[in-house]
C-alpha cells in the first residue's frame, strides 16, 4: 500500500503540526490507507509541549520530496556470492531474464557485476585454451552434477590442468601427470592408467565404477550422469564468478539518490545496469535505464498551506491528492483534479474537526485535546481577527471530549519561554511571501511578555538584516504578538516609507506598536498587499 504523507508548511507552527497528525488519524480511522503525518522543519517548543502533554510523537521529517531510486520499480535479483560457479550464475540470469546480476561479499556489500556478455566472452576464450586453473573441487563437482568417488586426500587443493577427452590417441605419455584433467566414459583401462600416472582429476561420465578406485588418495575421481560431450562444454564454467565479473570503476546508486542526479550520471556512463545499495551499503537490486521512464511518484496531502514557497522541496515531482487550508488561494498547480477544502476559519484543525463529525468519527480524548490546543494557538486564545464562532464552538466541543479546561490549556500555550537564542525564536513561525513582484518575510512570536522580547531588538535586527541581504528581500518583519496587550510590537528592516504608507504609523528605531493586530494572515499581509497591489 502506497504511503501518503500529510504535511503542513515550512517552519511549522502548532496548527500545522497538529493538522498533519489529526488528518492522518482520521484517514486511518476510516480505513482509507497508509497516511503518515509529516513535517517540513523543526518543531518549536510550544508545539512540543502540547504533543508531550497529549502523548503524540513527532511527525516524520521531510527534507526533499523529489523522486528517489526507492520510488522506482527496479529489478531485485538476489545478489550472488563471489564464489559461486559461472554455470550457476548463468542459469540464474537465463531463468530470470536478467542481463546482469550483482555479486556481493559475504556481508552483502557490493563486490562486482556479472553480465551475460562477461560469460559469453569467457566461454569464447576457452575455445583457444583448453585449461582450467585453480577451480575449487566443490565447484567442479557442482558444475558437472557429480559426486566424489574416493576420499581425496588433497580435497582442499584447487584443480588445475589441461582438459583432455579420454581417447587412445589423445592420452599419451607427454600429457600424463597431476597437471591434467581427464574426462572419460566407460574406459576402465584408461582410468587405471591415469590413476597410476597420478592424473590430478578424473571425471567419469555415465560408467560403472570399480571398487578399488574409491581407495585412491592422490587423484580426485568424480562420477557424473552427464555425457562426456556435455562435461567438456561446462567444465570451464566451474570457475568462480569472481574470476570474470567486473570489479573496477563500478557505478552504483543508493535508494535515497534522486533520479534527477541518477539520469545525469547514466548519461555519462556506458553501463546498461547499475547496482542499488541501501544505507548500509548492501546490495538490494539492479537499476536499468528503462526503469526511469515511469517512476512511481510520492503522494501528499497538504494541510495549513497552499503555496509552493511554503511547501516541501520537490513538490513538482509529487502527486498532491488533497489540500485542506484556511489561507488565501495561492500558486500550487496539479496535473489532475484534486479535493480542495479551503474555509475562512481561524485554524485548519477547525476544518478537520468538522470532517471528523461529518464522517461520524469520535476523536480520542488525547486527540481532541491536541486539536483544541491547536485551535487556541492559531486563534491566539480566540483574540485573533481570523477567529470565528466555528473555531470557538469547535474548541469547546473538543475540550468537553478531552475533559480539559480551555482557559488552563490556553494559559499553558503562551506562558513565557523567551530565553532561547534569538535566531531560534525568529524561525519559530517564519514565512516568506511574494506580493505583486515584492518579496518579503514575516515572522511571528506570540507571547505574554512582549516587552522582554523587545529588549533583544538589536539581536533580531541583526538576524533580519542578514536574511534580507541573503534572500534579496525588500522587507523583513517580526510580529511580537502579546496576548495580554492584544496587539503586536513590530520590528522591521526595509523601507521606512513603505512602513508608513502600509501601516499609517511613524516608526521609531525600526519598531512600532499596532493595537488590535494579532494576525499575520488577515491583517499584516492584507496591509502590505494593499500597498503594493
**Is residue 424's pLDDT more than 60?**
yes
> Which residues, other chains included, contact 333 with Cβ-Cβ below 8 Å and sequence gap of 6+?
none
Sign for the CA dihedral angle at 241, 242, 243, 246 comes to: positive
C-beta of residue 480 within 8 angstroms of C-beta of residue 460: no
pLDDT given at position 168: 56
| Per-residue pLDDT tens digits for 109-132 | 999 999 988 898 888 887 777 788
Contacts 24+ apart (CB under 8 A), 174-181: 181/132, 181/235
| Per-residue pLDDT tens digits for 319-333 | 999 999 999 898 898
| Per-residue pLDDT tens digits for 471-525 | 999 999 999 999 888 899 999 999 999 999 999 999 999 999 999 999 998 899 9
C-beta of residue 6 within 8 angstroms of C-beta of residue 301: yes
Full 3-state SS string of 197-226: HCCCEEEEECCCCCHHHHHCCCCEEEEECC
Mean pLDDT over all residues of the chain? 90
- Measure the CA–CA gap between 528 and 39, rounded to whole angstroms: 28
C-beta of residue 465 within 8 angstroms of C-beta of residue 493: yes
pLDDT given at position 134: 86
**What three-state secondary structure class fits 147?**
strand
Fold classification of 422-532 is Diaminopimelate Epimerase; Chain A, domain 1 (3.10.310)
CATH number of this structure's domain 137-239: 3.40.1390.20
> Which residues, other chains included, contact 419 with Cβ-Cβ below 8 Å and sequence gap of 6+?
none
pLDDT given at position 276: 95
Query: 50: closest CA among 371, 325, 365?
Result: 371
Fold classification of 3-67+298-413 is inorganic pyrophosphatase (n-terminal core) (3.90.1640)
**Is residue 8's pLDDT more than 90?**
yes
pLDDT given at position 348: 98
Q: Give the mean pLDDT of 124-147.
A: 85
- Measure the CA–CA gap between 402 and 394, rounded to whole angstroms: 12
pLDDT given at position 367: 98
- Measure the CA–CA gap between 409 and 377, rounded to whole angstroms: 10
C-beta of residue 382 within 8 angstroms of C-beta of residue 391: yes
The residue count of the chain comes to 533
> Which residues, other chains included, contact 67 with Cβ-Cβ below 8 Å and sequence gap of 6+?
258, 259, 260, 295, 296, 297, 298, 314, 317
- Measure the CA–CA gap between 464 and 251, rounded to whole angstroms: 44
Q: Is the pTM of this model over 0.75?
A: no
| Per-residue pLDDT tens digits for 27-81 | 999 999 899 999 999 998 889 999 999 999 999 999 889 999 998 989 888 899 9
Please provide residue 48's backbone torsions phi and psi, each rounded to the nearest 5 degrees.
Answer: -65, -40
**What three-state secondary structure class fits 471?**
helix
> Which residues, other chains included, contact 161 with Cβ-Cβ below 8 Å and sequence gap of 6+?
131, 132, 178, 179, 180, 181, 200, 201
Q: Give the mean pLDDT of 434-442.
A: 91
For 59, the grid coordinates are: 511527525
pLDDT given at position 176: 54
- Sequence ranges of the domains in the chain: 3-67+298-413, 71-123+242-292, 137-239, 422-532
pLDDT given at position 159: 84
**Is residue 354's pLDDT more than 90?**
yes
- The pLDDT confidence band at residue 174, using thresholds 50, 70 and 90, is very low
CATH number of this structure's domain 71-123+242-292: 3.10.580.10
- Measure the CA–CA gap between 7 and 322, rounded to whole angstroms: 11
| Per-residue pLDDT tens digits for 184-217 | 998 998 888 888 888 888 999 999 999 889 888 8
298: Cα within 13 Å, side-chain hemisphere: 26
Sign for the CA dihedral angle at 142, 143, 145, 147 comes to: negative
Amino acid at each position: 500500500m502506497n504511503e501518503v504523507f500529510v504535511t503542513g508548511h515550512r517552519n511549522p507552527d502548532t496548527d500545522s503540526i497538529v493538522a498533519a497528525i489529526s488528518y492522518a488519524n482520521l484517514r486511518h480511522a476510516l480505513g482509507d490507507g497508509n497516511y503518515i503525518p509529516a513535517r517540513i522543519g523543526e518543531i518549536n517548543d510550544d508545539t512540543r509541549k502540547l504533543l508531550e502533554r497529549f502523548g503524540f510523537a513527532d511527525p516524520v521529517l521531510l527534507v526533499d520530496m523529489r523522486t528517489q531510486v526507492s520510488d522506482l520499480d527496479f529489478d531485485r535479483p538476489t545478489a550472488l556470492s563471489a564464489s559461486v560457479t559461472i554455470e550457476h550464475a548463468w542459469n540464474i540470469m537465463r531463468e530470470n531474464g536478467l542481463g546482469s546480476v550483482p555479486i556481493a561479499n559475504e556481508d552483502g556489500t557490493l563486490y562486482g557485476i556479472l553480465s551475460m556478455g562477461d560469460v559469453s566472452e569467457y566461454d569464447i576464450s576457452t575455445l583457444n585454451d583448453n585449461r582450467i586453473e585453480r577451480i575449487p573441487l566443490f565447484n567442479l563437482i557442482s558444475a558437472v552434477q557429480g559426486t566424489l568417488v574416493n576420499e581425496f586426500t588433497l580435497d582442499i587443493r584447487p584443480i588445475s590442468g589441461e582438459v583432455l577427452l579420454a581417447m587412445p590417441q589423445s592420452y599419451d605419455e607427454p600429457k600424463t601427470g597431476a597437471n591434467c584433467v581427464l574426462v572419460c566414459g566407460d574406459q576402465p583401462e584408461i582410468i587405471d592408467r591415469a590413476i597410476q600416472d597420478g592424473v590430478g582429476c578424473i571425471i567419469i561420465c555415465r560408467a560403472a565404477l570399480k571398487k578399488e578406485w574409491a581407495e585412491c588418495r592422490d587423484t580426485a575421481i568424480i562420477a557424473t550422469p552427464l555425457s562426456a560431450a556435455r562435461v567438456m562444454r561446462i567444465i570451464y564454467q566451474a570457475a568462480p564468478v569472481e574470476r570474470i565479473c567486473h570489479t573496477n570503476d563500478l557505478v552504483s546508486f543508493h535508494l535515497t539518490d534522486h533520479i534527477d542526479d541518477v539520469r545525469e550520471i547514466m548519461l555519462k556512463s556506458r553501463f546498461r545496469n547499475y547496482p542499488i545499495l541501501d544505507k548500509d551499503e548492501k546490495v538490494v537490486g539492479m537499476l536499468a535505464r528503462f526503469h526511469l521512464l515511469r517512476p512511481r511518484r510520492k503522494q501528499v496531502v497538504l494541510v495549513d498551506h497552499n503555496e509552493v514557497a511554503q511547501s516541501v522541496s520537490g513538490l513538482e515531482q509529487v502527486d498532491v491528492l488533497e489540500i485542506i487550508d484556511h489561507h488565501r488561494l495561492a500558486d500550487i498547480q496539479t496535473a489532475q483534479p484534486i479535493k480542495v477544502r479551503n474555509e475562512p476559519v481561524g485554524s485548519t484543525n477547525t476544518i478537520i474537526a468538522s470532517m471528523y463529525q461529518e464522517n461520524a468519527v469520535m476523536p480520542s480524548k488525547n486527540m481532541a485535546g491536541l486539536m483544541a490546543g491547536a485551535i487556541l494557538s492559531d486563534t491566539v486564545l480566540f483574540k485573533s481577527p481570523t477567529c470565528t464562532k466555528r473555531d470557538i464552538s469547535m474548541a469547546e466541543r473538543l475540550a468537553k471530549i478531552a475533559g480539559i479546561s480551555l482557559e488552563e490549556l490556553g494559559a499553558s500555550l503562551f506562558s513565557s519561554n523567551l530565553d532561547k537564542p534569538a535566531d531560534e525564536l525568529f524561525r519559530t513561525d517564519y514565512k516568506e511571501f511574494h506580493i505583486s513582484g515584492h518579496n518579503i518575510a514575516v515572522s511571528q512570536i506570540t507571547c505574554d511578555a512582549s516587552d522582554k522580547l523587545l529588549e533583544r531588538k538589536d539581536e533580531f535586527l541583526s538576524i533580519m538584516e542578514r536574511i534580507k541581504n541573503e534572500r534579496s528581500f525588500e522587507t523583513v518583519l517580526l510580529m511580537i504578538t502579546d496576548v495580554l496587550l492584544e496587539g503586536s510590537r513590530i520590528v522591521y528592516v526595509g523601507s521606512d516609507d513603505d512602513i508608513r504608507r502600509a501601516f499609517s504609523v511613524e516608526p521609531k528605531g525600526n519598531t512600532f506598536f499596532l493595537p488590535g493586530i494579532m494576525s499575520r494572515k488577515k491583517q499584516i499581509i492584507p496591509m502590505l498587499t494593499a500597498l503594493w497591489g
